[in-house]
């Protein structure tokens, strides 16, 4: 898996890991932040969330068009700085009301524009690494490693946000309760309109926080403190971008030969493939058709930060017991992932040294898991954003299996084409939401929940299972799709097509 890959892959992958760590830290808490600080309804929150994601996915098209003319490396560096200033604005805790909404909107625009200059063009550099003859056959595995690195950043993001939230709330004598912000905003906006059930819930929540002041003081202080904790989560993205830039800049010698476009290829000594206008048009049309299809996958996938986060907060129990506790400690997940790679090292390594390292990576994490599970509390209370760690952890843990399966099929001449893999990925994603739909039967509506209707919350395994199946679809679609684009895109339009 890791053998024979160009050195530049690891530098670019680690640079992307840093950037994605910050991005997914923000995304894990973004909708919760909007509702906690501004008291937005689920619908208004959805508009902000979806508009931001629309821009974050649309701007890479324009970033790619610009990079095809100006150079990929230049746009990547500018993108990092633009994103940085966006995250700085998100981290500022001073703005409230309309001023806060305006500053936040400007911040989101900067982050989206910076993402547009950074994300797709970094992937073009990765693709250029594999244009050289020694590496061409390793393109798919290279992009799988690159995609795995993206998800390593995403894996630790929810835990970082949870730790910061708990730390800041604890400093002010509070603990997290996902129901409190909504109840507080209801009380501050119009206390007399609250139902008796909702008012009773608020009184019960205040009692658990051991607050002795007035209800209005509690509501304002809790909202301000929770909002501050989310601002601290956004500040994590600032530091992760600094790390990303340092990696990108310090190790530039490992990938500088890949920083060329069609105009500078000759100067770099890279032979440019000449395509006829007809072939260029044919390739672009084929890619556009793929782009149109995968819109529906990402439309469903990104419910993770919206409806699935609401479901985790409002409909899922926040307590894990028994074996379920395993997944709510990120160190257990990391240990399990190390075991997977250790086992692959044992069976795939050709040297005794490699097998010894593989054995150590298998046995030591297993010992840690056993000791850690025995020392954990019988019941673990968790926050809704922690569910965001399951998808990236599954991606990182399942990537070796994905490569092994497709490698085996390729050796038999039976590996599906990239478009066929994408089609399979769409069907698997549909299955994930079928599971979610069945698990949601007989639950009260959001309005009924808001009014205080009681019900039995579902177990965390429903969301974990949904994310697992969704990850199977993602592995079929995303890393292979990126590799396919880098392979098929006409040389003059690599940035544009990767942005697409």
Distance (Å, whole) CA 42 – CA 270: 52
In a domain, residue 259? The reply is no
**163 touches 28 (CB < 8 A):** no
The mean pLDDT of 254-281, rounded to a whole number, is 77
Mean pLDDT is highest, among 34-43, 58-67, 142-151, 399-408, for 58-67
User: Taking CA 84 as the corner, what is the angle to CA 88 and CA 113, rounded to the nearest 5 degrees?
Assistant: 115
The confidence score (pLDDT) of residue 136 equals 80
**pLDDT tops 80 at residue 35:** yes
Per-residue pLDDT tens digits for 331-340: 999 999 999 9
The confidence score (pLDDT) of residue 331 equals 94
The reply to whether 389 and 365 lie within a common domain is: no
Per-residue pLDDT tens digits for 405-449: 888 888 888 888 888 888 899 999 999 999 999 999 999 998 888
The confidence score (pLDDT) of residue 199 equals 87
The confidence score (pLDDT) of residue 210 equals 83
In a domain, residue 233? The reply is yes
In a domain, residue 271? The reply is no
The reply to whether 342 and 476 lie within a common domain is: no
The confidence score (pLDDT) of residue 192 equals 80
- Give the whole-number percent of the chain exceeding pLDDT 70: 98
The per-residue pLDDT of the chain, averaged, comes to 89
The confidence score (pLDDT) of residue 270 equals 58
The reply to whether 363 and 225 lie within a common domain is: no
In a domain, residue 262? The reply is no
The reply to whether 156 and 241 lie within a common domain is: yes
Distance (Å, whole) CA 342 – CA 7: 22
Distance (Å, whole) CA 153 – CA 309: 19
**pLDDT tops 70 at residue 272:** no
The confidence score (pLDDT) of residue 467 equals 95
- Give the CATH number of the domain where residue 58 resides: 1.20.1250.20
**477 touches 141 (CB < 8 A):** no
The reply to whether 30 and 72 lie within a common domain is: yes
Domain that holds residue 344: 330-375
The confidence score (pLDDT) of residue 268 equals 58
The reply to whether 370 and 233 lie within a common domain is: no
Where does a domain end: 355, 375, 395? 375
Where does a domain end: 315, 347, 375? 375
Q: Going by C-beta distance under 8 Å and a sequence separation of 6 or more, which residues neighbour residue 10? A: 254
Q: Say which range, 26-30, 262-266, 411-415, has the weakest mean pLDDT.
A: 262-266
Question: What are the residues facing 321 on neighbouring strands?
Answer: 379
The confidence score (pLDDT) of residue 97 equals 84
Q: Confidence class of residue 350 from pLDDT cuts 50, 70 and 90?
A: confident
Q: How far are the Cα atoms of 80, 179, 412, 477 from residue 147, in angstroms, in the given order?
A: 19, 35, 25, 11
The confidence score (pLDDT) of residue 117 equals 96
The reply to whether 367 and 401 lie within a common domain is: no
The reply to whether 295 and 359 lie within a common domain is: no
The confidence score (pLDDT) of residue 395 equals 92
In a domain, residue 162? The reply is yes
| pTM, to two decimals | 0.85
Mean pLDDT is highest, among 126-135, 331-340, 382-391, for 331-340
The mean pLDDT of 390-410, rounded to a whole number, is 89
- Give the whole-number percent of the chain exceeding pLDDT 90: 50
The mean pLDDT of 357-363, rounded to a whole number, is 93
In a domain, residue 466? The reply is yes
The reply to whether 441 and 345 lie within a common domain is: no
**pLDDT tops 70 at residue 118:** yes
The reply to whether 132 and 166 lie within a common domain is: yes
In a domain, residue 435? The reply is yes
**391 touches 304 (CB < 8 A):** yes
The confidence score (pLDDT) of residue 154 equals 86
Helix (H, G, I), strand (E, B) or coil at 381: strand
Number of domain units in the chain: 2
The mean pLDDT of 100-105, rounded to a whole number, is 92
The confidence score (pLDDT) of residue 233 equals 86
Q: What is the DSSP string of 112-175?
A: HHHHHHHHHHHHHHHHHHTTSGGGGGGHHHHHHHHHHHHHHHHHHHHHHHHHHHHHHHHHTT--
The reply to whether 208 and 348 lie within a common domain is: no
Q: What is the DSSP string of 451-484?
A: TT----PBPTHHHHHHHHHHHHHHHHHHHHHHHH
The confidence score (pLDDT) of residue 25 equals 84
Where does a domain end: 375, 397, 412? 375
In a domain, residue 267? The reply is no
Per-residue pLDDT tens digits for 189-201: 888 888 888 888 8
The reply to whether 351 and 311 lie within a common domain is: no
Mean pLDDT is highest, among 16-20, 261-265, 417-421, for 16-20
The mean pLDDT of 284-308, rounded to a whole number, is 89
């Amino acid at each position: 898996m890791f053998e024979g890959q160009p050195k530049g892959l690891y530098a670019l992958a680690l640079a992307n890991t840093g950037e994605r760590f910050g991005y997914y830290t923000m995304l894990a808490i973004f909708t919760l932040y909007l509702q906690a600080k501004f008291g937005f309804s689920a619908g208004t929150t959805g508009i902000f969330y979806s508009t931001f994601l629309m821009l974050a996915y649309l701007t890479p098209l324009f970033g790619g068009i610009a990079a095809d003319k100006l150079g990929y490396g230049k746009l990547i560096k500018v993108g990092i700085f633009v994103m940085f200033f966006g995250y700085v604005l998100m981290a500022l805790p001073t703005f409230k009301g309309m001023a806060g909404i305006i500053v936040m909107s400007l911040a989101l625009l900067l982050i989206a524009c910076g993402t547009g200059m950074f994300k797709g063009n970094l992937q073009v550099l990765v693709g250029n690494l594999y244009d050289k003859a020694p590496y061409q056959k390793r393109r798919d595995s290279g992009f799988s490693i690159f995609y795995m690195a993206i998800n390593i950043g995403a894996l630790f993001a929810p835990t970082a946000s949870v730790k910061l939230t708990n730390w800041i709330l604890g400093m002010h004598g509070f603990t997290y309760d996902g129901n409190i912000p909504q109840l507080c905003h209801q009380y501050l906006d119009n206390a007399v309109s609250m139902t008796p059930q909702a008012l009773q819930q608020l009184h019960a929540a205040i009692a658990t926080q051991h607050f002795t002041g007035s209800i209005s003081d509690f509501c304002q202080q809790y909202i301000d403190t929770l909002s501050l904790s989310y601002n601290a989560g956004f500040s994590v993205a600032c530091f992760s971008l600094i790390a990303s830039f340092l990696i990108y800049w310090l190790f530039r010698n490992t990938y500088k030969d890949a920083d060329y476009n069609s105009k500078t290829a000759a100067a770099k000594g890279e032979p440019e493939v000449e395509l006829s206008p007809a072939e260029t048009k044919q390739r672009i049309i084929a890619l556009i058709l793929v782009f149109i299809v995968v819109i529906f996958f990402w439309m469903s996938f990104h419910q993770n930060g919206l409806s699935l986060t609401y479901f985790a907060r409002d409909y899922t129990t926040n307590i894990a017991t028994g074996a379920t506790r395993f997944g709510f400690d990120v160190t257990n997940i990391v240990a399990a992932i190390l075991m997977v790679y250790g086992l692959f090292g044992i069976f795939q390594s050709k040297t005794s040294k490699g097998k010894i390292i593989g054995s150590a990576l298998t046995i030591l994490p297993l010992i840690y898991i056993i000791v850690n599970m025995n020392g954990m509390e019988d019941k673990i209370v968790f926050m809704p954003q922690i569910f965001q760690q399951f998808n990236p952890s599954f991606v990182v843990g399942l990537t070796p299996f994905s490569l092994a399966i497709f490698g085996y099929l390729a050796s038999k001449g039976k590996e599906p084409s990239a478009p066929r893999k994408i089609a399979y990925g769409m069907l698997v994603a549909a299955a994930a939401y079928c599971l979610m739909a069945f698990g949601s039967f007989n639950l009260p509506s959001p309005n009924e929940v808001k009014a205080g209707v009681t019900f039995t919350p579902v177990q965390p395994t429903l969301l974990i299972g949904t994310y697992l199946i969704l990850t199977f679809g993602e592995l079929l679609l995303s890393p292979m799709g990126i590799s396919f684009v880098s392979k098929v895109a006409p040389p003059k339009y690599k940035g544009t097509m990767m942005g697409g």
